[in-house]
Chains A and B, each alone.
Chain A
Amino acid sequence: MNAATGTKQRAFDHTRLAAALNRASHKDYKADNLPFAGFKMAKDAGRITSNIENTRWSCDLVSDACTSNTMPPQAYQYRYDRTPPAENNREKTSVSPDGKWLAYSKNYNLFLRSKDGSRNIPLTWDGSESNYYALSTLKWSPDSRHLAGYRIRPGHKRQVYYLESSPRDQLQPKHWTMTYPKAGDTLALHQPVLFDIVSRRQIAVDNASFPNPYSLSPILWWKDGRGFTFEFNQRGRQLYRVVEVDATTGQVRSLIDEVSHTFVDYQPLVNQPRTGKTFRYDVDDGKEIIWASERDGYEHLYLFNGRTGELKNQITRGDWVVRTVYYVDPVKRQIWFGASGMNPAEDPYFVHAYRIDFDGKGLTALTPELANHHIEFSPDGRYYVDLWSRIDAPPRLMLYRASDNAELMQVESAEISELVAAGWQPPLSFHAKGRDGETDIWGIIHLPVNFDPNKRYPVVEHIYTGPTRSSVPKSFSAFVEPLTQLGFIVVQIDGMGTNNRSRAFHDVAWKNLKDGGLPDRILWHKAASAKYPWYDISNLGIFGGSAGGQNAMSALLFHPDFYKVAVASNGSYDNRMDQIWWSEQWMGWPVGIEYSQSSAVDNAFRLQGKLLLIVSETDRIVDPSSTLQLADRLIRAGKYFDWLVVPGADHVAPSSYSKLKLLDFFVRNILGQEPPNWNAIGSNWRE
């Protein structure tokens, strides 16, 4: 779709691309169902690249030739251990902007080589395997006068062990390990280093302003070369700091401090329900900095003096949440951003677009439709598209001109009449007061097939309370919860401890992942039952995967009077077994008793309800041993449960087989019916 001309056409020839992919991959991809949702297109529109499973594909749209680059196994562990490697290879270089010098690493030290290769000059002598200078971190000042980077002291390389019992390409099992730091492990220590290229000397950088780092962000030079900044994320998550280093003196100062008595949600603020809270935009080479913070209890934008670090003004303010920043115009001094919760009359999770001036004035609402809006700005800020919908309203895609918010055209308007005629019904939105008696807790109810309000239906909750996000759908989807087709009500709720509400709402998760918002959810269920005679909570079920698996276990273990039946898949049942960033983000550091208090393993003896555990044998997100440790503790406690190990499966793997096992489990234990004898029927299973 061309925004300037208003013309719409196929992005490429789907049939030719499918054929090209099939030739190269020996697969059978269909032109009307290509195996990717997004791609990058070259500027001349002659080539697209996209990820299909774990392979990067690049296809020439002129010659119809596709090539692939399979992601190596190390790509998985890079998710967890991003320690810059030691690279002693004089052919790998970092070239100065003026082209005169090439920096490289040799014997863990840094060297300079002149462009003509005639001169090799050592910058350091003290590097070693256990404390090396990392070439990949080097950043030249724009004037080529200075070079900065990180020196690395490696941390503990914890390994997760895998046994793949049933590989497809051989009879005998395979095993492998993956580097995967867990809560409490010793981390690699990054320390910034700075060099004056003219004098060939190292300038000392005092590390007193960034003690005990969890991470230091990549170095970012000011354009005028006066210094550089990095963002210091202290281990424990109570301090996040923008640090500036003077290029001439090496003097260090803090520009902005973000502090919390619980946690700073240090991941970037992005245009998704799953988001962190940090955002930084440097205005005019750092004279000012736009910064996001939850310091007043809600995620808002602030304007700092980038030279002094003083707060100039709060840009956005109110008991609502900035959800993303779409675009900043430093000339007009305006910000386009998304926010939720500003309109008291609607769902507080609905995202709307707004514009505001740097000084906090001129707040302008841009999306009047009562719906959930997803905005994508063009790279130059001239246009934006607005994809809006609700769970009960099909989507529209609109094109706008940013300068005056003029509607240029309706790009798409979805048609769902056939869907409705086939029996699809939208979920029902419902909210009730949470545990504090004041805060509204929002959720949705998926009604059962052939719903009759004069009947009563059993309820099963689909839970996910990972604090990175809110999980209840707000936009249109034709998705149907399979259990509804068997006569169940299925509900989804965003209880306290999840994201995209106030800071206090989010803080409930702190050192308390066992909570899972379950006290709010129980009140929500009771309120729904009181309002709707058809809502039967006498034998409540619950299921979830990953963090949702942990939540489903918590429901059974800590609220056995309310939750009676659970299916938990690939859960992190003890956060000491889980990946370090997640566990320490929510459960804190140092590792304390809270980890045990929230552990389903340590609380396995509490089990009273019916439980099905599902675990993927080669889960690369959550260590599958976490499930086996839970099973071990349940067995030792004399507890009965069912479980399913899916050989060779990864984290998001439940497959049709485990999906049917889930259905059967609730049918048997809530409806009291015996599922079909699938073996006698002659099931034909396929992956």
Chain B
Amino acid sequence: MYKFGVLTLVLLVQQASAAAGPTDSTANQLQLSDYKRAMTIGDQYAKLTTNVPDVPFWLADGESFVYRQTTKASISSFS
């Protein structure tokens, strides 16, 4: 996994010489922090939900089922 924690510089991304699509977003120079967010936001967001259950599965006893859910300040637990 790419570690952004070692980076202390906030670098401005250099302008490319070859321009491409004329969209407004090209006017905004991407920052290193943008890349960091792109690479890590999945893990960050995964920690911001609680009680999001996965698909449950039934145990052989026919009366009990188990599912995994997100929990506060952690990733998951089985109930």
Residues of chain B at interface, number, CB under 8 A: 65
Instruction: Write the nearest CB–CB distance from B3 to chain A, whole angstroms.
Output: 5
Task: Convert B1-43 into 0s and 1s, putting 1 for each residue whose CB lies closer than 8 angstroms to a CB of A.
Answer: 1110011010101111111111111101110101101110110
Tell which of A31-39, A154-162, A302-310 binds the partner: A31-39
Give, as a whole number of angstroms, the nearest-CB distance from B41 to chain A: 5
Produce 1/0 per residue, B32-76, CB < 8 A to A: 101101110110111011111111111111111111111100111
Contact at A414–B3, with CB atoms within 8 Å?
no
Nearest-Cβ distance from residue A481 to partner chain B, whole angstroms: 9
List the A side residues contacting B53 at CB < 8 Å.
387, 395, 397, 411-412, 414
A488 to B37, CA, bound (A): 14
Interface of B is mostly: loop
In the complex, the answer to whether A480 meets B42 with C-beta atoms within 8 Å is yes
Q: A668-B16, A671-B30 are in contact. Are A415 and B23 (CB under 8 A)?
A: no
Closest-by-CB residue of A relative to B34 is A486
Is the beta-carbon distance between B52 and A378 smaller than 8 angstroms?
Answer: no
Partner of A458, one of B25, B42, B58, B61: B25
Which residues of chain A in 601-617 are interfacial with respect to chain B, using CB atoms and an 8 Å cutoff?
A: none
Instruction: Name the B residues within 8 Å of A411 (CB-CB).
Output: 53, 67
Using known A-B contacts A11-B79, A457-B25, A478-B45, determine if residue A387 contacts B56 with beta carbons closer than 8 Å.
yes
A676-B32 in contact (CB<8A): yes
Q: A395-B52, A675-B13 are in contact. Are A10 and B77 (CB under 8 A)?
A: yes
CB of A646 within 8 Å of the partner chain: no
Question: What residues of chain B lie closer than 8 Å to A531, measured between beta carbons?
Answer: none
| B13 and A32 contacting across the interface, CB-CB below 8 Å | no
Q: Please tell me which stretch of A237-245, A313-321, A655-663 contacts chain B, meaning at least 4 of its Cβ atoms lie within 8 angstroms of it.
A: A655-663
Near B by CB (< 8 A), chain A positions 391-419 give: 394-395, 397, 411-416, 418-419
B44 A422 Cβ-Cβ under 8 A? yes
Question: Are A1 and B79 in contact (CB-based, < 8 A)?
Answer: yes
CB atoms of B38 and A485 under 8 A apart: yes
A572 and B56 CA atoms in complex are apart in Å by: 34
Q: A482-B38, A536-B21 are in contact. Are A424 and B54 (CB under 8 A)?
A: no
B57 A676 Cβ-Cβ under 8 A: no
Q: Is there contact, CB below 8 Å, between A674 and B15?
A: yes
- Which residues of A (25-46) have their CB < 8 Å from a CB of B? 30, 32-34, 37-39, 41, 43, 45
A:481-504 near B, CB below 8 Å: 482-488
Which residues of chain B are within 8 angstroms of A683 by Cβ–Cβ distance?
2
Q: Which residues of A contact B64 (CB under 8 A)?
A: 1-3
CB of B13 to closest CB in A, whole Å:
6
Q: Are A478 and B75 in contact (CB under 8 A)?
A: no
Q: Which one of B2, B46, B60 has the greatest number of beta carbons of chain A within 10 Å?
A: B2
Per-residue CB proximity of A419-455 to B under 8 Å, as 1/0?
1001010000000000000000000000011000001
Q: Specify the chain B residue showing the minimal Cβ separation from A12.
A: B78
13 further contact pairs, Cβ within 8 A, besides A674-B16, A686-B1? A1-B64, A1-B79, A32-B77, A33-B75, A39-B66, A376-B58, A380-B62, A394-B49, A414-B70, A458-B26, A660-B39, A682-B7, A684-B3
13 residue pairs bridging A and B, Cβ less than 8 Å apart: A45-B59, A394-B52, A395-B52, A414-B50, A457-B24, A476-B52, A479-B45, A663-B38, A673-B13, A673-B16, A675-B30, A681-B9, A686-B2
